[in-house]
Amino acid sequence: MLFHLVWLGALAAAQSSQPILTLSGSNRRLTGADATPTLSLSDFEASTFGTGTMSDLSARTGTVNATASGTTSENPLTLLVGGTRTTAVSGNVTASTTTTTARPSNTQPCNNYPEFCTRRYSNITEVCAHNSPFARKNNAGSNQQYGVTQQLNDGIRMLQGQTHLVNGTLYYCHTSCELLNVGTVEGYLTEVTEWVRSHPFDVITIIFGNFDYEQKDANGNPLVTSKNFLEPIENSGLKQFIYQPPKTAMTLEDWPTLGELIVKGKRVITFIDYNYDTNAVPYMLWEFYNMWETPYSPTDVNFPCTVGRPEGLSQNKSRSMLYMANHNLNVEVSIAGTSLLIPNTVDLNVTNGLNGTGSLGLMAERCTADWGRPPNFLLVDYYNAGPFNGSVFEVAARANNVTYNRECCGAESVATVLVRPLGVWLGMVVAVVVGLML
């Protein structure tokens, strides 16, 4: 796989006095059955790059102690380590240091933008797929058109979904597993892990929605907590990539840069909305210790930027935390006394647009003005729908002050597919509700 790498990934400019790890190369091709286009501490330990010897090459975010092996073609790999030091590896030589003040520019994207490598995780706006697992055609419980692999390929960097415990196994189900069951949490996380493994310069966030948080066991204890997620996380292989924060309640200044997360190989951040247990699962943070949300499941096209969850959060505290703008417009349907909220797909061109009342762009601007900083996450339904392909990512790019120039989304546009479904979905909702009542 041909690619050009110049990566200045560990620190922001303000931290220039600290060591910096730089990886560079030009038109390098990795060969061999096990070769993968990866760059992180774990990759060096797996010896996938170059033919030189690396000894005690230190960066602020970790230390490499390994011998590089493998086969490459064309240009050799160069390693630069230190704020004012450079260490070059070329051919079969031992790394040594020389003094220089020159620094390469960063051209390797982190989360799709080179500018993000030196930004804190808490200083970036990403798009979140609301109910990411629920992408099933012709089902009233769906919130997305494409599956999680395509979501991540298109630029989604936060995944959220509702889990249900059924006979001791966690499933992703919408409202009830009779309405929409897309499979086990383990199966979903296995697919996510495969994507994470093959995208070494990307950091993603997962929020586990614990639908059963109010259920109790025979002793009156919560039936489902963070501990129930241990098995699917470990069995899927995801655990090796999960970042464990040093604190259970992180402030904006506590979060590392994307570069630091990437070079450590810890590129997945996990939260749970209810029934956290950081003693049993220290890497799964309680969402509302670390992040607040604007009003949840909104039906109000004005999309207020006020604090919705958790209730009672002070202004001072909220300004030191991550925050998510819920921007998934719903329509309420009442059938035989049962009230359901389903995505308002008719207005997606406006809801996921850049301008006008009810648009994602207007909400991002208003929240930025209200709080002095953009939202960290923009939660949306059908991220691929809008006035043009990738409109939600354009909104995020403007909030981040970067240029969005990627292609989006999926195999085809859903603009024509989603113009008509409200009536069709209403009919399906009637059928499903009637079926559940029988």
pLDDT at 417 over 50: no
CB neighbours of residue 46 within 10 Å: 16
Strand segments, DSSP code E, in 251-407 are: 268-272, 284-286, 291-293, 322-326, 330-335, 338-343, 377-380
> How far separated are the first and last CA of the chain, in Å rounded?
56
Model confidence pLDDT, tens digit, residues 149-168: 999 999 999 999 999 999 99
Contact 16, 102 (CB under 8 A): no
8 with 103: CB under 8 angstroms?
yes
pLDDT for 250-278, tens place per residue?
Answer: 999 999 999 999 999 999 999 999 999 99
b/e map of 106-128 (b: 16 or more CB within 10 Å)? bebbbbbbbbbbbbbbbbbbbbb
For residue 175, the model assigns a pLDDT of 85
Out of 193-197, 254-258, 374-378, 411-415, least confident range: 411-415
The percentage of residues in the chain with a pLDDT greater than 90, rounded to a whole number, is 60
> Per residue in 19-60, pLDDT tens?
344 554 443 333 334 444 434 333 333 323 333 333 323 333
More confident residue, 436 or 331: 331
Report strand pairing: 78-81 vs 71-73: unpaired
- Chain centroid, CA 133 distance in Å: 14
Residue 68's pLDDT band (cuts 50, 70, 90)? very low
Round the average pLDDT of the chain to a whole number and report it.
77
- 3-state helix, strand, coil split of the chain in percent (to 5) is 25, 25, 45
**More reliable by pLDDT, 117 or 81:** 117
Residue 194 pLDDT more than 90? Answer: yes
User: How far apart are alpha carbons 231 and 221 in whole angstroms?
Assistant: 20
Instruction: Say if residue 148's pLDDT is above 80.
Output: yes
What per-residue confidence (pLDDT) applies to 336? Answer: 56
Residue 57 CB-density burial (10 A; 0-12 exposed, 13-18 middle, 19+ buried): buried
In this prediction, residues 118-146 reach a mean pLDDT of 93
Enumerate domains of the chain plus CATH numbers: 2-99 (no CATH), 115-437 (3.20.20.190)
d(CA 8, CA 105): 7
Region label for 265, one of left (φ > 0), alpha (ψ between -120 and 50) or beta (otherwise): left
Q: Which residue has the higher pLDDT, 356 or 78?
A: 356
Higher confidence at residue 42 or residue 383?
Answer: 383
| pLDDT at position 94 over 90 | no
Quickly state the pLDDT bin for 139 (edges 50, 70, 90). Answer: confident
Confidence of residue 105 (pLDDT cuts 50, 70, 90): low
Q: Measured between alpha carbons, how far is 152 from 202 in angstroms, rounded to an integer?
A: 10
Q: What angle do CA 248, 125, 156 make, to 5 degrees?
A: 95
The token pair that represents 250 in the structure block? 């992180």
Both tokens of 34, joined, read: 């096990």
Contact criterion met (CB below 8 Å) for 179 and 171: no
Residues annotated as part of the active site:
130, 174
